[in-house]
């Protein structure tokens, strides 16, 4: 007869094994994106498929279900956020999610995703939605079936959102997004109409790539990203990956004639990296050693990249260093002109190139379209037209072709419905955390101007990083800020920052 304590220990061992399998898979994926020779793709696909199969088998083993039931019957104290109860809650969540969906559906989805991604790549290149359409229809159909197996209380989209932001609901996201949208639209319109505009040509001068790497790496290290437990490499699609304690890697890409891409890309990934490096190493292998979820992860990249890295206090310290690094390109530029240029707001078609103010409108559009797709209110044929109509309504631009419209992102081609909202939730959380940090540490921005970011990092480590998955996103936001998820801190921040820059008062 297994005791609850013994069952819990067994679950810890299984959880650690799954984490190890995933971390080996992660290392192989990192290598695929960075240094793998092109001809290694086939064997690498086989290696990764083997490891994910192994991880899935460990996770869905019926013994895990038995151990969970036994452990859950134990007395783990009154605190629902105590170590054991938090781990058990998260194990139960992932076990249920992965066992509710039949293996045949999982396999069908991964086949459809491989074919879907190939078709999407071609469709985007040729800007021809028809090439992607039959694959998308199949993927939508499989996603809908998935929602039926997983179950939901209000709307099928809840079941998909729960994959990326556990515990969050469509209704709550909708409420917050609508409030945000109503304030963003007039702000964007006022900025576009403002006669005061930045000199963006400053950022399109010559920035030698070897210098960009050194300058970006130095900035990441100054924020507190530990390069002895990390590294920075160049890739096509940048990402951050936590292999485990002592090994958290970031990547970026550079454009010689554009300052922002490499530099802010590095700060973004370093923000993810600081979070991963701040997770408690002793809890590695259990949910308490893992990040909360996509939204909180993105809150950290946005906080370090935008709230800190695009702020004037940060550049008071870093701009003289940027001038020393790029004397020919920045020697004749003032701090104010540079700061304004780095914070250009301009509606544009591509989400990943969008600025702080317009970015969330790109997400809301996707969120609305995804809900309509999953509820069946929007037929596949009508997606491009619906996209273009909403785009004009939100960003005031007419989409010239689908590669700049509904074909620009990879997410739908692998069935990633429910993923997009986490980008905007991350920005909202970042604004809430930043506001709370400024209240708790009133001299914060003076410290930034002096090149000292340790107080902010320590505050984030204490309040967020060290807890791993102890709390869900909504809970940690409320605990840290005293408020539920809200649009208010973000709109206050955007007005405070962009009002003076563009001399608008909305």
Please give the residue ranges that form the binding site for Zn ion (CB under 5 A).
301
CA 489, CA 506: separation in Å to the nearest integer?
Answer: 15
203 vs 291, beta carbon nearer Zn ion: 291
On whether the CB atoms of residues 94 and 18 are closer than 8 A, the answer is no
- The 3-state secondary structure of 118-156 reads HHHHHHHHHCCHHHHHHHHHHHHHHHHHHHHHHCCCCCH
CA distance 295 to 285: 21
Q: Please identify, using beta-carbon distances, which residue of 15 and 306 lies nearer to Zn ion.
A: 306
Whole-angstrom distance, CA of residue 252 vs CA of residue 225: 15
Strands (E), 143-259: 230-234, 240-244, 247-252
Sort 210 into a burial class: Cβ within 10 Å, 0-12 / 13-18 / 19+: exposed
Q: Give me the residue label for tokens 């690094």.
A: 325
Active site annotation includes 269? yes
- Residue 277 or 301: the one with the smaller Cβ distance to Zn ion is 301
Contacts of 44 (CB under 8 A, 6+ apart): 28, 31, 32, 36
Q: Nearer to Zn ion by C-beta: 240 or 361?
A: 240
Q: How far is the CB of 300 from Zn ion (least distance, A)?
A: 9
**Quick check: helix, strand or coil at residue 234?**
strand
Helix (H, G, I), strand (E, B) or coil at 166: coil
Q: Tell me how far, at minimum, the Cβ of 419 lies from Zn ion, in Å.
A: 12
Closest C-alpha among 276, 325, 334 to residue 301:
276
**Alpha carbon separation from 383 to 141, 348, 379 (Å, rounded):** 15, 20, 7
How many Cα atoms within 13 Å fall on the side-chain side of residue 248?
Answer: 23
Calculate the alpha carbon distances from 293 to 90, 114, 164, 298, 300 in Å. Answer: 11, 25, 7, 9, 11
Whose structure tokens read 């002096």? Answer: 450
In terms of CB distance, is 19 or 301 closer to Zn ion?
301
Q: Which of 165, 269, 305, 356 is catalytic?
A: 269
Nearer to Zn ion, 146 or 427 (CB): 427
Q: How far is the CB of 239 from Zn ion (least distance, A)?
A: 8
Least spacing, CB of residue 93 vs Zn ion, in Å: 23
Closest approach, Cβ 234 to Zn ion, in A, equals 17
CB of 349 to Zn ion, least distance (A): 20
Residue number, 146 or 301, with CB nearest to Zn ion:
301
Name the minimum Å distance from CB 332 to Zn ion: 34
SS3 258: strand
Active site residues: 269
């Amino acid at each position: 007869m297994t005791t609850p304590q013994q069952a819990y220990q067994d679950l810890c061992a299984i959880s650690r094994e799954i984490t190890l399998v995933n971390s080996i898979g992660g290392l192989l994926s990192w290598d695929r994106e960075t240094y793998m020779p092109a001809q290694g793709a086939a064997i690498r696909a086989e290696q990764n498929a083997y490891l994910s199969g192994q991880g899935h088998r460990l996770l869905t083993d019926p013994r895990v279900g038995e151990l969970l039931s036994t452990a859950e019957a134990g007395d783990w104290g009154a605190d629902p956020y105590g170590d054991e109860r938090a781990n058990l809650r998260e194990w139960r969540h992932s076990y249920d999610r992965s066992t509710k969906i039949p293996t045949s559906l999982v396999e069908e989805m991964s086949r459809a995703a491989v074919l879907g991604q190939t078709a999407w790549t071609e469709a985007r290149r040729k800007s021809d939605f028809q090439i992607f359409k039959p694959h998308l229809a199949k993927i939508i159909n499989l996603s809908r079936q998935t929602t039926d197996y997983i179950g939901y209380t209000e709307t099928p989209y809840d079941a998909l959102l729960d994959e990326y932001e556990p515990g969050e609901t469509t209704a709550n996201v909708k409420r917050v997004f609508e409030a945000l949208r109503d304030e963003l639209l007039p702000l964007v319109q006022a900025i576009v109409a403002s006669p005061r505009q930045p000199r963006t040509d400053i950022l399109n001068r010559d920035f030698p790539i070897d210098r960009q790497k050194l300058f970006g790496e130095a900035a990441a290290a100054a924020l507190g990203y530990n390069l002895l437990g990390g590294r920075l490499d160049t890739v096509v699609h940048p990402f951050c990956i936590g292999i485990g304690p002592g090994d958290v890697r970031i990547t970026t890409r550079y454009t010689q004639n554009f300052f922002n891409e490499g530099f802010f890309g590095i700060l973004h990934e370093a923000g993810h990296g600081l979070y991963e490096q701040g997770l408690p190493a002793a809890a590695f292998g259990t949910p308490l050693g893992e990040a909360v979820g996509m939204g909180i992860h993105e809150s950290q990249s946005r906080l370090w990249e935008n709230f800190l890295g695009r702020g004037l206090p940060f550049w008071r310290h870093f701009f003289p260093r940027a001038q020393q690094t790029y004397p020919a390109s920045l020697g004749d530029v003032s701090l104010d002109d540079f700061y304004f240029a780095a914070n250009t707001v301009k509606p544009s078609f591509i989400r990943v190139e969008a600025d702080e103010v317009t970015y969330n409108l790109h997400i809301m559009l996707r969120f609305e379209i995804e809900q309509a797709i999953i509820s069946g209110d929007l037929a596949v044929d009508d997606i491009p037209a619906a996209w273009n109509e909403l785009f004009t309504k939100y960003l005031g631009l007419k989409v010239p072709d689908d590669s700049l419209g509904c074909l620009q992102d990879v997410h739908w081609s692998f069935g990633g419905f429910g993923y997009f909202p986490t980008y905007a939730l991350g920005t909202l959380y970042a604004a809430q955390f930043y506001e709370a940090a400024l209240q708790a540490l009133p001299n914060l921005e003076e410290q930034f101007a002096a090149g000292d970011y340790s107080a902010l990092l320590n505050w984030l480590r204490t309040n967020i990083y060290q807890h791993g998955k102890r709390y869900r996103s909504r809970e940690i936001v409320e605990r840290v800020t005293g408020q539920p998820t809200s649009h208010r801190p973000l709109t206050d921040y955007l007005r405070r920052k962009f009002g003076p820059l563009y001399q608008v008062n909305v």
